[in-house]
Amino acid sequence: MDTHIKAEKHPWFLVAFVSLAVIFTALDQTVIVTVLPELMFDLELGATQLDEASWIITAYLIGYTAAIPFASRLADVFGYAVIFRLCFLIFAIGSIFVAIAPNLESIVVSRFIQAVGGGGLIPISLAIVTKRLPKHRRLLAIGIIGASAEIGLVLGPIYGGIITELLGWRWLFWLDVPQTMIILFGIWHIPGKRNHTAKMDYRGGFLLTGSLILLTATLSHPGLFDLSSTTPLFTGIAGLFVISIFIWNQKRVTQPLLPRILFQTISSLASMSTKLLLGASLIIAMVTVPLMAETIHGESILSGGLRLVRLTGAIPIGALLGGLLSQKLGARKVIITGLAISATALFFMSQWGLLISDPQMSINLVFAGFGFGLVIAPLFFVVIETCPDDYKATAASIITLSRMVGMALGLAALSAWGMEHFIQLTGHLELPLPITGESSFALAIRQERYIDVLNHASVTLFQHFFRISASLVLIAIIPSLLITTPKITDGKILRKLS
């Protein structure tokens, strides 16, 4: 049967293919985590060059973040299906370049190209299902797309490990090509008409993209908070300068890149603020869980990753259920419930010590992830439905962007403050080196005390991380109280307090 007919009569067929596309691109965000050591070995990079190799991750983050609003607005103007296909093709081309890249510099550039293609897919996917599904099914469809993105992120490291073990790391990127062909075949006949009343603000697009590149690079720099480098200072100032020009431009164009209603509506601003705080909270938790497992608990890298999966694996389940519940209960109730669940679980996690074990550990992790997932669909829905039809993809991109900025900020703060706090906790310690004339028994006692103090400092640090993560979620409840559930009737936006 023709895919066009299927998509018209069975919109869930379209949702399935779009969700697969989201999963495939999300895989490539986290797949690099497990293959980085193998990749460095293949490129003959030593352990001392890890900071250079980390640009493979940073380049993807910068490209992904910068592309989100630009690609989304292009989709609103030129048609969702057209730009969706274009983004997916760019993603596939970037994958081919990574697969054949001969050196680190080529891989970094290729990953950036990959990210530019992948950056617009989630918001455009959300706009597609919002536009083509009936109103009473939109929240569920948004939940499915959100769950698909999280599933890809969860499976990325596992998928990367398996393919690398069987075929080598380059095949991870070669396999993106047949995946792309399957998705493009499934959606090729979906109509994608240009919106002739909408206009693209190219100047605003380039200004925002430039500012996002500079600001993301600033937030990703390890010297941002400890002032060990002047680079983030200069890139940050330049980014703020460019974004100020962007704001000036926004006020002077008839159809700005970002819809003004998003920044004039309390509910939209509250949703974006909530998502930003959740992004920071989530990345802190995601870093702390495996780090705690692999250090003071003595677990292997694999065990640390599997422990994290208990948290991240519950996110897509929460995303699906959040879409269903929001249809019946309203967005705000579901969002606050999800925040309360995550905050409670994270506070329990802040009590973890050296002897934490199951079932308490798994219960805490699952509920934390479930709460994070529960808020995904209603937050997207509120912002998307607040905007007019010619800004749906752009609206979805702002929520995605809020999370990315929150994660970048949270990671930068964690790296700088965490190291400084650990030094404060352990700065008074002296290495238990042998002293002339000291007995082996006395040396063993000093070494044992040193390890005990070090473990105590590490536990204290990790507990602080979880408390900060929980506090950010609690703070997010404040703006979420201002969120209302928008309803669209005959093209007009109504709001029902729920």
Which residues sit opposite 489 in a β-bridge?
492
**Separation between Cα atoms, residue 70 and residue 201, nearest integer Å:** 9
* Helix/strand number for the chain, H first, E second: 21, 2
Buried b (16+ CB within 10 A) or exposed e, 294-326: bbbbebeeeebbbbbbbbbbbbbbbbbbbbebb
Residues 183 and 243 reside in one and the same domain: no
**Separation between Cα atoms, residue 358 and residue 413, nearest integer Å:** 30
Given a contact cutoff of 8 angstroms between Cβ atoms, the answer to whether 236 and 215 are in contact is yes
Residue found by looking up tokens 């992120």 in the block: 153
In a domain, 226, yes or no: yes
**Separation between Cα atoms, residue 171 and residue 164, nearest integer Å:** 7
Residues 367 and 246 reside in one and the same domain: no
For residues 74-79, average pLDDT: 86
In a domain, 424, yes or no: no
Residues 317 and 406 reside in one and the same domain: yes
Strands 485-489 and 492-496: antiparallel
Residues 228 and 154 reside in one and the same domain: no
Q: Which of 36-40, 81-85, 159-163, 237-241 has the lowest mean pLDDT?
A: 36-40
In a domain, 440, yes or no: no
Q: What is the CATH number of the domain that holds 395?
A: 1.20.1250.20
Residues 18 and 111 reside in one and the same domain: yes
- Kindly state the tokens that stand for 115: 């990210």
In a domain, 446, yes or no: no
In a domain, 231, yes or no: yes
> At 418, is the pLDDT very low, low, confident or very high (cuts 50, 70, 90)?
low
Helix axes 376-386, 331-349, angle to 10 degrees: 140
**Separation between Cα atoms, residue 286 and residue 197, nearest integer Å:** 43
pLDDT digits (tens, 9 = 90+) for 173-185: 999 899 888 888 8
Query: How deeply is 467 buried, as exposed, middle or buried, from its count of CB atoms within 10 A (0-12, 13-18, 19+)?
Result: middle
The pLDDT value given to residue 197:
78
pLDDT digits (tens, 9 = 90+) for 254-282: 888 888 888 888 998 999 999 999 998 99
Residues 188 and 209 reside in one and the same domain: no
> At 489, is the pLDDT very low, low, confident or very high (cuts 50, 70, 90)?
very low
Given a contact cutoff of 8 angstroms between Cβ atoms, the answer to whether 157 and 35 are in contact is no
Range of the structural domain that residue 245 is part of:
202-254
For residues 429-443, average pLDDT: 70
Work out how many domains the chain is built from and give that number: 3
Residues 304 and 236 reside in one and the same domain: no
3-state secondary structure of 144: helix
**Separation between Cα atoms, residue 92 and residue 99, nearest integer Å:** 11
**Separation between Cα atoms, residue 139 and residue 487, nearest integer Å:** 12
Is 491's pLDDT higher than 60?
Answer: no
In a domain, 28, yes or no: yes
Last residue of a domain, one of 216, 238, 254: 254
Residues 228 and 317 reside in one and the same domain: no
pTM for this predicted structure: 0.78
The pLDDT value given to residue 94:
93
In a domain, 286, yes or no: yes
Among 458, 139, 123, residue whose Cα is nearest residue 328: 139
Contacts (Cβ under 8 Å, ≥6 apart) of 157 = 30, 31, 33, 34, 305
The pLDDT value given to residue 270:
93
In a domain, 150, yes or no: yes
Give 494's DSSP letter. Answer: E
